Amino acid sequence: MMTLTSPWQALACIVGHNTRDLIAGRFTLASEVASWFKTLAMLRESEAERLMENDPTPEDLDWHRTLVTTLIADGERLLLDWPANGSANADRISRADLEAAVLGLHATQSMWHGELTADQRKAIIREVFGVDADQLKFGSAAAA
């Protein structure tokens, strides 16, 4: 009988594999950056499903914190490899795009796992998503 894997565990496998590839230098920088952005998109989908649309469990929050931290580290490593004056890669992703995405992950980390007040959390949601946090359904662990 096959056991089902949580979305977090599946994403952790992808992140772990990507991290090993990045450290080993198996692929081009452009390929690694594209892969990192695809993984970030998967994280955002899991966040919406597991943290915003449902009450996140302590396990959800633990997995999320771990994955966000790993993606930040990998993103920072990619930035180290990308020359400061480097142009956009073949996928039309610029260094500035990567910098912005890493900064967004730092904000995500602070919002979900930092010591934010309810008003600070609402302000981040308003700034990032352009909506009033009171219009969104949040689980009790992330509630303002």
Residue 43 domain-assigned (yes or no) = yes
Would 12 be classed as within a structural domain? no
| pLDDT tier at 137, thresholds 50, 70, 90 | low
How many independent structural domains does the chain possess?
1
Q: What is the pLDDT of residues 87-123, one digit of tens each?
A: 667 678 989 999 999 999 999 998 888 876 768 777 8
**Quick check: is 89 in a domain?**
yes
Domain contains 18: no
Give the residue among 141, 136, 118 at the shortest CA–CA distance from 55: 141
Residue 74: domain span: 28-134
Alpha-carbon gap, residue 58 to 111, rounded angstroms: 16
> Is position 67 within any domain?
yes
Residue type, 20: R
Give pLDDT tens digits for 51-92: 888 888 899 999 999 999 999 999 999 999 988 767 667 678
For every residue of 65-103, DSSP letters joined together read: HHHHHHHHHHHHHHHHHS-TT----TTS--HHHHHHHHH
pLDDT of the residue at 1? 46
Specify the pLDDT at position 89: 72
- Report helix angle 95-113 to 29-47, nearest 10: 30
